[in-house]
Structure 1
Amino acid sequence: MSRIRTALLCTATLIAATLQATGAAAAPAPGTGREPPPEPCVSSPGPARGEARQVLDIARQAQKDLGVKAVVLRVTRDGQEVVTGALGESMTGVPATADMHFRSGSVAIAYMGDVLLQLVDEHRVGLDDPVSRWLPDLPHGDEITLRMLAASTSGLHDYVTDPKFLAALEAAPFRQWTPKELVGYPLAHPLRYEPGTNWSYSHANFVLLGAALEKITGIRLDRLLQQRIMSPLGLSETRNSYTPEIGIPVLHAFTSERSTYEESTFWNPSWTTAPGAVENTNVCDLARSAVAIGSGELLSPAGYRVSLDPGTVGLGKPTAQCPAAVCRPMTPEVHFGLGLIVQNGWILQNPSFSGYASIQAYLPSDHLAIAVSTTLGPEGAQGNTAQTIAYRIADALSPGHPIQK
């Protein structure tokens, strides 16, 4: 099996296996009617002491242990910075800096989940409405609901585990993919199970959810997320791109997925999720996002409770059509929410693809947020190295509440 297939299969498996800039946006300046510019995202001034030193020491050691080229991180508690920092290089001779932008992948599916719950609160949709109402040509659209797309219980195969898709992606990493092409791979297979009766992660769910949100609101997805998520939260450095463009300054990525160590920064990410939600960000926005999503800041209390468990607990039963590598048991301690992961009290998302790895994690009981992004060196470890670093930070700062027990 090629390395790109192995890497993407590991990413898809990681999501299943895992299931075993601070404060509110500034108010407009008095008398101007305009928002002041956001605070710059910069490393904390040194020398680091206390928890800040602990975090940086953990990151430095992990950089050596895991063969990481760059680590960018931010930790906040009670909305206040514990530490922001950057280690290593973006490119040879170019130091990584805290304000560099990277691809944030599945973080945007948590945003889509929040938008869906906002629309439910506004009585514009019901979670159990069939998607055929907005996507009438979708096979099984009468059986699959909005909840099933957002909770990944539709039964649709994941195209990221389809050998034909993986071969096409490996052959042409700069290819621009369309939603129709992506969803065509799972639709070539029968459903893994009757919709709503089991759980298995599928990227196709979120491609379809993005299309449904556009139909429901009549607003293009990138604008919808900007209006309902990024603007209210002050995520000024988080943006969609319909091309492989990344905001400046760029944290460059490298990978050995195609059996040779090469730059992958501008490989086309159009396959990763719905058009309009293919975002890049910086670590300050990622930490702010961790707090907002993890605390349900943009949701009603009822919507927040649903986001943490839309009915997935108790699902994930391996069957002949859905083997254990795909269908994983969901428990109250570790399960998939509405576009997010709930793990031992932490609420997180953990994207990893094309040489980039990130995590946003929030522990409501401690008001502790951890945001990490990493890139790989030539001998870098497989898997999400940002997640590994976040786990170690959580162990140090909240020893009674590890992310992974």
Structure 2
Amino acid sequence: MSKSSARLRRGVAVAITVGTLTALLTAGPGWAAPASAPAALTAGSPRPSPPGPVVRAPTPGVARQLDAAVQRVMREANIPGVTVGIWTPGQPGYVRSFGVADKSTGRKMAPGMYMRIGSETKTFTVTALLQLADQKKVGLDDPIARYVGGVPNGHRITLRRLADMRSGLFNYSEDPAFFKALTSNPQRSFTPQQLLAYSFGHPVLFQPGQQFSYCNTNLVLLGLVVEKVSGQRLGDYIRQHILDPAGMTHTLLPNGDEFPTPHAQGYTTQTADGKEADSADWNPSWGWAAGAMISTLQDLRTWAPTVATGRFPDGRRMIGAAVQKQRLVTPRTGSFKGAGYGLGIFDVQGWIGHNGSLPGYESLTVYLPSTRTVLVALLNTDTDYRSQEPSTVLGEALTRIISPGHVYNLPVTRAG
């Protein structure tokens, strides 16, 4: 498989990066698939955060260190533009934009811009599923075959195994025919059924629960479950039951290639010829429930504690306590001790949240419960730097300064 195709998988996937296309969406996580998680990590309370000093306040001196770190990463990784926000209750906030939103005009990056957030979309889709489970409209241990026909091994794969990336299904964004179709016409629209067809032509990779494998196919299936059970389009459900109650008025799941303004242009080399292109007008439908959403810095500031705690900003529960507890059980995804993935959410060295990657864009939205610190980073490129996603490189540089006991160092491995 080509390197570009592998990166598309990540993004649409992780970018545990979809939100890298393994994140095209990445959207997706980029760590290696693990063996079965130890029993101690598959049930019970979420893994406690590793010990470490409190988060450093963004005093003028610390702010200068953060500025220098961002600018260094931008130079080394050739990132056109970055916006960063860091907030801890009782401390001054740190909000900065660097570089350009549009390389052709020199328009500056700004904190209020809309950005594609790739695989962070997964946190919203899984939240919708968990709300329905909380209402007893679905069961997390229901087989997907109860809701969607034709799924390989569908009578054994549960909704839980789709949400925690342990289904064994093939990731459609890794299919060479999908990569060719996408890159030959990035403006084309894909239906969920077309995306699933790319996956279902492949045998299952393993039996449910045996391994971790970041997979956008899982989220497309969960999006269809939400639509079938709720009777609403996925974007409408997310807006009515998640975004509106949270006060997130600048976040959406687009129906097509719409992109509110002002937005940054996005720069990617995930193209048919490998040359850099501006992807702002590309249709993100291929990511749909796994990675097509759009948001802003301030809305993601709201989302970080909301998804991590299961409570809306006004204190109401978004998800019941028992279901939220299940969500935050994050078995390790491999041999790396500090990274685990739960139900549409990860824990990396105590930081709870998700990253995202779509051609031209990357994001990182995480929350440190011990200090209630929020970190959001938005970038207008998804081009890897030394085999790492630029959002990961940036997140590590920032957390080494503000939280040296909790350094966001998501490991990434490439396939193909």
**TM range, smaller chain:** 0.7 to 0.9
Whichever of the two has the greater Rg, that structure is: 1
Deviations 1:295-325 (A, max 9, x none): 232222222221112xx626xxxxxxxxxxx
**Which structure 1 residue ranges, 5 or more long, are not aligned?**
21-46, 315-327
The alignment status of 1:186 with 2:206, answered yes or no, reads: no
Partner of 2:277: 262
Alignment partners' CA distance in 1, 2:248 and 2:387: 30
Partner of 2:44: none
Structure-2 change in CA distance of 1:81 and 1:285 (3 Å): farther
Which range moves more in the overlay, 157-166 or 133-142?
133-142
**SS of 1:228 mapped into structure 2:** helix
The alignment status of 1:404 with 2:409, answered yes or no, reads: yes
Deviations 1:99-136 (A, max 9, x none): 11111121121112222222222222211012222224
> What TM-score do you get using the length of structure 1 for normalisation?
0.82
Q: CA deviation at 1:244?
A: 1.1
Structure-2 change in CA distance of 1:267 and 1:4 (3 Å): farther
**SS of 1:292 mapped into structure 2:** helix
Q: CA deviation at 1:50?
A: 4.1
2:395 to 390, 394, 402: 390
Deviations 1:317-338 (A, max 9, x none): xxxxxxxxxxx52777322111
1:360 to 356, 365, 376: 365
Structure-2 change in CA distance of 1:84 and 1:164 (3 Å): same
Higher RCO structure, 1 or 2 (CA under 8 Å, sep 6+): 2
**SS of 1:389 mapped into structure 2:** helix
Contact 1:79 1:367 in 2 (8 A): no
1:285 to 286, 299, 303: 299
Alignment partners' CA distance in 1, 2:77 and 2:5: 21
Structure-2 change in CA distance of 1:392 and 1:379 (3 Å): closer
Partner of 1:221: 234
Contact 1:78 1:367 in 2 (8 A): yes
Alignment partners' CA distance in 2, 1:64 and 1:272: 29
Contact 2:161 2:209 in 1 (8 A): yes
Deviations 1:225-252 (A, max 9, x none): 1122111211111012111111110111
Q: CA deviation at 1:260?
A: 1.9
Q: How does 1:4-403 map to 2 (within 5 A)?
A: 4-9=4-9, 11=11, 12=22, 15-17=29-31, 49-78=60-89, 82-91=93-102, 92-258=105-271, 259-274=274-289, 278-297=292-311, 298-309=318-329, 313=331, 329=334, 333-376=338-381, 383-403=388-408
Alignment partners' CA distance in 1, 2:405 and 2:263: 36
Q: CA deviation at 1:373?
A: 0.9
Q: CA deviation at 1:212?
A: 0.3
**SS of 1:106 mapped into structure 2:** helix
Contact 1:10 1:383 in 2 (8 A): no
Q: CA deviation at 1:187?
A: 0.6
- Letter of the 2:121 counterpart: A
Which range moves more in the overlay, 390-399 or 329-338?
329-338
**SS of 2:289 mapped into structure 1:** coil
Percent identical: 30
**SS of 1:17 mapped into structure 2:** coil
**SS of 1:98 mapped into structure 2:** coil
Partner of 1:321: none
RMSD over aligned Cα, in angstroms? 2.6
Contact 2:9 2:171 in 1 (8 A): no
How many residues of Structure 1 are paired with residues of Structure 2 in the alignment?
A: 363
Alignment partners' CA distance in 1, 2:234 and 2:147: 14
Alignment partners' CA distance in 1, 2:121 and 2:363: 12
Structure-2 change in CA distance of 1:215 and 1:231 (3 Å): same
Structure-2 change in CA distance of 1:244 and 1:52 (3 Å): same
Structure-2 change in CA distance of 1:54 and 1:106 (3 Å): same
> What TM-score do you get using the length of structure 2 for normalisation?
0.80
Structure-2 change in CA distance of 1:117 and 1:83 (3 Å): same
Structure-2 change in CA distance of 1:4 and 1:125 (3 Å): same
Alignment partners' CA distance in 1, 2:80 and 2:226: 37
